[in-house]
Structure 1
Amino acid sequence: MSRPDGPEPRRLTRWWRRRSLRTRLTVIAATAIAVSVFMAFQVASELMDWQLQDTTENELRAEAHVLATTAERAGLAQVWLPPYPGSGRLVRVVLPDGSTRTPAGQPELPPVSEQAGRVVRGASADLMESNDSDDDGHLVYTLRAGDGAVQVARVADDTSINQFGFGMLLIGLLCVVGGALVGRTVARTGLAPIDRLTAAAVQVARTRDLDADIPDEGGGEIRRLIQAINDMLAALRDSRQAQRLLAEDAAHELKTPLTSLRLNIELLVRLDRRGTLDTALTAESRTRLLNDLGTQVAELSTLAAELTDLARGDAGDESTELLDLADVVVAATAQARSRMPDLEVALDVATVWVSGRPAALQRAVLNLVDNAGKWSPTDQPVQVRLRAEGASAVLEVDDAGPGIDATDVPRVFDRFYRAETARALPGSGLGLSIVQRVVHAHGGRATVARSARGGALLRIDLPATAPATPVARLTAGEDSTPR
């Protein structure tokens, strides 16, 4: 159950968040000045009140001592009390019996208090007390004199404090208005680069021109913000360029298999319409044609899957976890054997722990083994080796094929790139590109070299998460066929 006062703060928060930054800065500046003026007024008022109180008390003490000296000389009952002039101090003589004498025409003072009576009886020498029981309020000083006491009082006067407070109020209002104007001006001046930045960003969004860098101006946070936005625009340019290249390359690669598939299907349809399908093609020709169609459909399916994988990039939902790379290699090798029953793989893997995404790593290893399987002779196994080397997990896939020509090495990991000798083989030219993307996403490196057997040696290095003593899973010469 929400508290009764819950909705109101939420509405206030929503209202505040809907205000512009200029309005917020103006309100904050005006509020800060108002609070400062209020605090200064409170402190100044207290100091002024304390100073006036102290001055009044000192004056009352001095006047009381003069009156007490005179009363002791002339006697409390006979001392002359001049008529009240109409303003100023008030005096009173308190006789031993408790009766009082006051000047003619003087306003009445409050009755003698119990504490003042103790001074009259000699229990104490003097007393300063404040009487606020009436509207005026009096500050009364009682001093022992002879057998009684004299009292000198003043009516409490808040005129000075009130005048001071009124003046401070006017000054505070002027300061608040001035603070709001200053805050507005500062906000407008300080946010001018933000306005220009917003206008430039709106222009980029409207024209879709990612090549238009926002001019660098200002300093500190503004400059860092502009640089961050320019970096974001550069990343978007690179992403759009990569998408354009991917679309162009995909269209180019899809053209050949689609054309072949369309021609074969058109041939079958034309022969079927003529009613000569059974006579125009021999059984062997029909089988070969259907096999070609199946191969082309399989290539298109593989190409579509690889394009989807590349287009998705690193945005997959698979989470990173601590895993034994040896398990990934064994699983990928078994999957490759299921695709290519004649493929022979010699595994030599050790336990190496890495932090990564299992499915992505398995796809990369599978592509390496598939690529090696296309080139390796049937009587020579593909060698897959995994070991820990320093702080890295090193995976090597070694085939005994013809190797990679030196002119092709720099472009081996490019999308859709296929060497002249590989264009007659099935494949899309995306497998090694996916390998490189996965490896880079895991902070690793993919390289290619010539193996000792004359074929290609593809190697990936991944950061290991924890040092481990290598334990061989399968020795060289064994294959990964499940038993």
Structure 2
Amino acid sequence: MTRPLKQLRALPLRSRLALLVAAAVAVAVAAVAAACWVVTKTQLDRQLDNSLRSSQVDERYLSGLYNYCRGTSSVLPPSFTGYTVQLVDSRGTVCIEPNASVLSVSSADIAVADGRKPYALHSTKAEDGTRMRVYTYSLRRATPPSGGTSGQIAVSIARPLSEVDKPLSTLAWVLLVVSGIGVIGAGAAGLWIARSGLRPVDELTEAVEHVARTEDLTIRIPVEGEDEIARLSRSFNTMTASLASSRDRQAQLIADAGHELRTPLTSLRTNIELLARSDATGRAIPPDDRRALMTSVKAQMTELASLIGDLQELSRPDAASPGPLQVVGLHDIADAALERARLRGPELTIRADLTPWYVRAEPAALERAVVNILDNAVKFSPPGGSIEVELRNGELTVRDHGPGIPAEDLPHVFERFWRSPSARQLPGSGLGLSIVARTIQQAGGEVDLRPAEGDGTIASIRLPGAPQLPPEH
């Protein structure tokens, strides 16, 4: 059983479908043909039995046959056309026409003759081997033949079963031929249907092979209808479009990262070459210039480290969570971020009003997002300016008094590596707000920037609340 299944699985899909269709049709046709044959046989048998039951032999014929068998008369009456008639007594003695083939007497016939059964209906064989259908009935209630005793004679009327067998044989051959034609037609139709139905699958296979061979993600499969094949084609088109978009974003990320890395690397190489040339030639660099060079090298290294960290953060898939989510206090994270912001902008006045609010997020990622928001406020605040930070009902707002963001730039502030023209001279990679948006979205919140009244910008982070954990004892 296992071997045929393996051989079937080895066939092409369209061949398997054609075979399955042909097999299913063959089973159905065989069942219908068998049912038709059985019903027809039953009906023919019933008609033959009814014909025998309704056939009453003429009394004069019975009397003449009985007297002929006893030897009291040498003259036979005319034969009962179409039937074989014989008389059976209670001892099983048979009386039949001279040229007729004697029917085998059964116990049922004797039981009818001696009055134990009113009639008998069965199949038997004649002496010449002909299969016969026999109906035997008693003469107890009829006028017995001359010299006979009432109740001791039974009449057996028989007709050959070939009257049923021949039509059934003919019907069997007809059904066999028709079934064979039907199965062959079903196999051909199944193969045609399989080829037609699997044509979109062939197109899909060719498209997949083309993509695997050429890495061309622009190919699309025509979609027709709303069936499963259409859904599969539509899903494939969506997948290739997503892959193409992902590859484009990856290429853009690499290009943008290379562009952003070029500037600090160029500056760092220039400064290091100046220091190396000074040591090689023995011409000392003035102390003030040397300190400036070292400060610039440290700043460029810090910028490179920050950029690499941002790229690592963005290299994770969008659906991947940076770490396990925990219930943390947004006010505590904001307070820690404020301490770092005050160190980076010591000349600024930072005022905070934080109401306790608990959220479910990854603590380190959320703190980094808040730090990035505060860094932007520190970066764009004028010297001696102020920053207002407020946390109310799950919304953290950071307001600065800098130059603000033009309305045409607001839709782009969360894009990777995007920097407004006014910010290109300031340190940064253009990845900070992109990381903020990603982190807040993973925590189920929202973030946006909007112009403040007067001057400056308001950054807003909204996060859904979480049940406060009980304090540990």
TM (norm. structure 2) is 0.77
Query: Relative contact order: is structure 1 or structure 2 higher (C-alpha 8 Å, sep ≥ 6)?
Result: 1
List aligned pairs for 1:251-290, cutoff 5 A.
251-274=258-281, 279-280=284-285, 282=287, 286=290, 288-290=292-294
Aligned with residue 240 of structure 1, among 239, 243, 247: 247
Matches of 1:127 and 1:380 in 2, distance apart? Answer: 120
| Letter aligned with residue 430 of structure 2 | G
Q: 1:197 to 1:249 in 2, by over 3 A?
A: same
- The equivalent of 1:334 in structure 2 is 336
> Are 1:162 and 2:162 matched, yes or no?
no
Aligned with residue 71 of structure 1, among 50, 62, 65: 62
> Are 1:139 and 2:133 matched, yes or no?
yes
- The equivalent of 1:396 in structure 2 is 396
Matches of 1:382 and 1:306 in 2, distance apart? Answer: 26
- Indicate if the aligned counterparts of 2:122 and 2:135 stay in contact, CA closer than 8 A: yes
State the 1:151 CA deviation: 1.6
- The equivalent of 2:433 in structure 1 is 432
TM (norm. structure 1) is 0.75
- Indicate if the aligned counterparts of 1:450 and 1:456 stay in contact, CA closer than 8 A: yes
Count how many residue pairs are aligned between Structure 1 and Structure 2: 446
Task: State the SS of the aligned residue for 1:66.
Answer: coil
- The equivalent of 1:57 in structure 2 is 49
Q: 1:380 to 1:98 in 2, by over 3 A?
A: same
State the 1:70 CA deviation: 4.5
Output one character per residue of 1:44-82: Cα deviation in whole Å (capped at 9) or x when no partner: 11111111111111222233x316784378758659878
Q: 1:212 to 1:200 in 2, by over 3 A?
A: same
- The equivalent of 1:406 in structure 2 is 406
State the 1:306 CA deviation: 1.6
State the 1:418 CA deviation: 2.9
- Indicate if the aligned counterparts of 1:93 and 1:100 stay in contact, CA closer than 8 A: yes
Q: Which stretch shifts more, 23-32 or 34-43?
A: 23-32
- Indicate if the aligned counterparts of 1:84 and 1:106 stay in contact, CA closer than 8 A: no
State the 1:253 CA deviation: 0.8
Q: 1:400 to 1:360 in 2, by over 3 A?
A: closer
- The equivalent of 2:352 in structure 1 is 346
State the 1:204 CA deviation: 5.3
State the 1:347 CA deviation: 5.6
- Indicate if the aligned counterparts of 2:65 and 2:77 stay in contact, CA closer than 8 A: no
Q: Which runs of 5+ in 1 are unaligned?
A: 388-393, 474-483
Matches of 1:431 and 1:302 in 2, distance apart? Answer: 10
- The equivalent of 1:390 in structure 2 is none
Work out which of the two has the higher radius of gyration on C-alpha atoms and give 1 or 2: 2
- Indicate if the aligned counterparts of 2:414 and 2:434 stay in contact, CA closer than 8 A: yes
- Indicate if the aligned counterparts of 1:375 and 1:399 stay in contact, CA closer than 8 A: no
Output one character per residue of 1:147-185: Cα deviation in whole Å (capped at 9) or x when no partner: 221122345443332332222222212211112222222
Q: 1:335 to 1:440 in 2, by over 3 A?
A: closer
Aligned with residue 33 of structure 1, among 18, 25, 30: 25
State the 1:198 CA deviation: 4.4
- The equivalent of 1:367 in structure 2 is 372
- Indicate if the aligned counterparts of 1:396 and 1:459 stay in contact, CA closer than 8 A: yes
State the 1:143 CA deviation: 0.6
- The equivalent of 2:156 in structure 1 is 151
Matches of 2:210 and 2:456 in 1, distance apart? Answer: 54
> Are 1:447 and 2:448 matched, yes or no?
yes
Matches of 1:336 and 1:68 in 2, distance apart? Answer: 129
- Indicate if the aligned counterparts of 1:68 and 1:145 stay in contact, CA closer than 8 A: no
Q: 1:58 to 1:253 in 2, by over 3 A?
A: same
Q: Which runs of 5+ in 2 are unaligned?
A: 141-150
Task: State the SS of the aligned residue for 1:417.
Answer: coil
| Letter aligned with residue 265 of structure 1 | I
Q: 1:336 to 1:91 in 2, by over 3 A?
A: farther
Q: 1:110 to 1:382 in 2, by over 3 A?
A: farther
- The equivalent of 1:109 in structure 2 is 103
- The equivalent of 2:143 in structure 1 is none
Matches of 1:328 and 1:100 in 2, distance apart? Answer: 115
Matches of 1:319 and 1:291 in 2, distance apart? Answer: 35
Output one character per residue of 1:426-467: Cα deviation in whole Å (capped at 9) or x when no partner: 3211110222344456665432124469542112345x488x
| Letter aligned with residue 167 of structure 2 | S
- The equivalent of 2:90 in structure 1 is 96
State the 1:338 CA deviation: 5.6
- Indicate if the aligned counterparts of 2:330 and 2:356 stay in contact, CA closer than 8 A: no
Task: State the SS of the aligned residue for 2:252.
Answer: helix
Q: 1:359 to 1:172 in 2, by over 3 A?
A: farther
Q: Which stretch shifts more, 146-155 or 227-236?
A: 227-236
Percent identical across equivalent pairs?
33
State the 1:112 CA deviation: 2.1
| Letter aligned with residue 330 of structure 1 | D
State the 1:196 CA deviation: 4.4
- Indicate if the aligned counterparts of 1:310 and 1:434 stay in contact, CA closer than 8 A: yes
- Indicate if the aligned counterparts of 1:68 and 1:144 stay in contact, CA closer than 8 A: no
